[in-house]
């Protein structure tokens, strides 16, 4: 057990840890609030400000831009700041920004530029919140319980992503978009109150040595991540996975709605099956991690994710083949896709959290997360080129090929035999 870990108490039901119970409840509320308000955002973008396709692309990009420009810096800060306090402050900031939106709507001041400012502000706050939450979790539960904790978080996130849009759509029809933002602001305020109730012991970072600055600390975090014998292949595999994932998710919506001519309701059913698969995967992830080891559980998820996209690329589907067969294949593919992510995500994140010392958690996570966002940007652009040049099924096949490569990185590395809770020496 690492010296930075909480007390090595015997594993028990994870929600019986009071600090984690507050953390999980707040995180679950925020997930539901975000997915519910996401419906209102789309309505405002399309119907209220009448955004052009180019403006829609800019608004989508603004939510990711903070990670590209600030991700590494914020990660370094989180290894010096009190993470629990940072989490509370950013959640309060989110509540304030969300509360501004209905005021803009009511006063008629909402336009592309004001919505862009809101989107950018929420992106920055999300960056700070994510950068605080991941390294905080190992301080809330014993490191042996991290797979169970991340699985719980994954389950609630999956349920929110599956049910949230439906709830948001129903509420939108009843109360309108401005009230949805009020609801999300209230949810964020409640989440901040719960986060403030988290009791956690956080170490104070030692003062920087003379002549050192945040750039030195960022470089240290990158060296640690990419020189570590098991974190290096894990990080590289994640980056390749993100490249493949950006290609398939960009192409899938066009493939399903245009190539296969699925009606919107059928497309929604397929996505919902992906959510079900993700929930099932998150339920079984801790047991698989304990039985197979972290490395093999992650590898299983990486291998599984190849199957649905290879199937969609190779199985001859067409609008003339019958709605039932087409929807069945697409829905089954989404279920396996969600199942794979549900298995690998808790084991992936938990292994990172269990291996890295507390003092470098923020930088290690931000290094991986920032490169992932950059790779996703590149992959989305590559997907557009591939769809134009080789067609939609072949583009999905190319994404599956990157998933194969991500699996091979783990299969031929020391990570394959790694287990959770490995001792880390500073």
Intra-chain end-to-end CA distance of the chain, in Å: 12
- Which residue ranges form the domains of the chain, and what is each CATH number? 14-200 (1.20.1250.20), 224-417 (1.20.1250.20)
- pLDDT at residue number 426: 33
Backbone angles phi, psi at 37, to 5 degrees: -70, -25
CA distance 22 to 19: 5
CA distance 154 to 161: 10
- The pTM of the full predicted model, rounded to 2 decimals, is 0.79
Tokens of 417: 């035999």
Mean pLDDT over residues 36-50, rounded? 77
Confidence of residue 7 (pLDDT cuts 50, 70, 90): very low
Confidence of residue 59 (pLDDT cuts 50, 70, 90): confident
pLDDT at 340 over 70: yes
Residue 224: partners with Cβ closer than 8 Å, 6 or more residues away: 231, 356, 360, 363, 364
Burial class of 99 by CB neighbour count within 10 A (0 to 12, 13 to 18, 19+): middle
Q: Which residue has the higher pLDDT, 299 or 365?
A: 299
Closest to 234 in 3D by CA, of 426, 424, 416, 67: 416
pLDDT tens figures, 84-98: 999 999 999 999 999
DSSP helix, strand, coil percent of the chain (3-state; round to 5): 80, 0, 20
- pLDDT at residue number 44: 80
**Mean model confidence pLDDT for the chain:** 85
Mean pLDDT over residues 384-403, rounded? 91
Mean pLDDT over residues 379-392, rounded? 86
Confidence of residue 210 (pLDDT cuts 50, 70, 90): low
């Amino acid at each position: 057990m690492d010296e930075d870990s909480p007390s090595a108490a015997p594993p028990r039901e994870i929600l019986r840890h009071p600090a984690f119970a507050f953390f999980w409840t707040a995180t679950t509320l925020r997930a539901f609030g975000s997915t519910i308000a996401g419906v209102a955002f789309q309505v405002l973008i399309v119907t209220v400000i009448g955004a052009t396709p180019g403006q829609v692309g800019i608004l989508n990009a603004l939510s990711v831009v903070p990670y590209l420009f600030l991700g590494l810096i914020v990660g370094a800060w989180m290894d010096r700041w009190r993470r629990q306090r940072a989490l509370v402050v950013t959640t309060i900031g989110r509540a304030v920004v969300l509360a501004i939106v209905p005021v803009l709507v009511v006063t008629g001041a909402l336009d592309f530029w004001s919505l862009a400012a809101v989107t950018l502000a929420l992106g920055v706050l999300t960056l700070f919140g994510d950068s605080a939450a991941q390294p905080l979790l190992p301080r809330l539960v014993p490191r042996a319980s991290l797979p169970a904790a991340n699985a719980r978080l994954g389950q609630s996130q999956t349920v929110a992503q599956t049910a949230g849009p439906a709830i948001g759509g129903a509420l939108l029809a009843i109360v309108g978009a401005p009230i949805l933002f009020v609801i999300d602001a209230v949810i964020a305020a409640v989440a901040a109150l719960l986060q403030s109730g988290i009791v956690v012991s956080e170490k104070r970072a030692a003062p920087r040595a003379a002549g050192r600055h945040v750039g030195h600390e960022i470089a240290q975090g990158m060296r640690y991540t990419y020189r570590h014998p098991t974190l290096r292949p894990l990080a590289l595999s994640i980056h390749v996975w993100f490249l493949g994932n950006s290609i398939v998710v960009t192409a899938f919506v066009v493939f399903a709605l245009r190539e296969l001519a699925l009606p919107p309701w059928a497309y929604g059913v397929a996505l919902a099956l992906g959510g079900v698969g993700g929930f099932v995967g998150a339920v079984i992830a801790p047991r698989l991690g304990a039985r197979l080891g972290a490395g093999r559980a992650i590898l299983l998820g990486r291998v599984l994710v190849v199957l649905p996209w290879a199937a969609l690329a190779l199985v001859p589907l067409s609008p003339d083949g019958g709605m039932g067969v087409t929807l069945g294949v697409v829905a089954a593919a989404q279920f396996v896709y969600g199942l794979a992510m549900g298995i690998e995500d808790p084991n992936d994140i938990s292994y990172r959290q269990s291996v890295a010392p507390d003092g470098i958690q923020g930088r290690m996570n931000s290094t991986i997360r920032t490169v992932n966002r950059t790779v996703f940007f590149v992959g989305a652009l590559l997907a557009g080129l591939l769809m134009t040049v080789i067609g939609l099924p072949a583009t999905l096949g190319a994404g599956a090929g990157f998933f194969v490569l991500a699996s091979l990185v783990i299969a031929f590395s020391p990570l394959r035999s790694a287990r959770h809770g490995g001792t880390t020496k500073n």
